[in-house]
Each structure stands twice: as C-alpha cells, then as structure tokens.
Amino acid sequence: MPIYEYRCKKCSKEFELVQKITDDPMSECPDCGGKVERLVSATSFSLKGGGWYKDGYASSGTKTTKPEKKDSKKSDK
C-alpha cells in the first residue's frame, strides 16, 4: 500500500498515512481537526542500469550501426 503525505493548513503539521489507492484522501488533521492537503513527494522508486528511462536517451552500449556496404564489383584478374 502506498504512503501518502499530508500537511495541515491550520497547524502546518506534516504527517504520513498508509492508505489503499481506492481509499478517499484524508480531509482533517488528526491533531487539530483542521483541513489537510495531500502533498506530492519524491518517490524512492529507482530503476537500475542504463536505458531511455534513466536520462531520456538510449544507453551508449545499445547503439546500432549500419553494416558496411561491400563493394559489389568483382576484381578482374
């Protein structure tokens, strides 16, 4: 289950809450009863290795090169 972060607009307390994705967002602060807002935070999810997802470009090890054209003319001997 994901962990959601909230901030109270009244007392400015920030807290985390483990909720199901289908659960409704929390609406009031557990301490003061003020209105809360859900925060957008950085994820700890990280993909390992190279590739387009890391920097938007293919990794240098996956470059494809066109095969060299061989001269179709046969040498006369």
pLDDT digits over 6-61, tens only? 999 999 999 999 999 899 999 999 999 999 999 987 777 776 766 665 566 655 55
In a domain, 71, yes or no: no
Amino acid letter, residue 63? K
Q: How far apart are CA 23 and CA 40, in angstroms?
A: 17
Greatest CA separation found in the chain?
97
Instruction: Determine the pLDDT at residue 65.
Output: 57
Residue 67 pLDDT grade (very low, low, confident, very high; cuts 50, 70, 90)? low
In a domain, 5, yes or no: yes
pTM: predicted TM-score of the whole model, two decimal places: 0.54
Structural contact between residues 29 and 11, judged by C-beta atoms closer than 8 angstroms: yes
Q: Provide the domain limits for residue 35.
A: 1-18+26-42
Q: How far apart are CA 9 and CA 67, in angstroms?
A: 63
Q: What is the CATH number of the domain that holds 12?
A: 2.20.28
In a domain, 31, yes or no: yes
Provide the number of structural domains found in the chain.
1
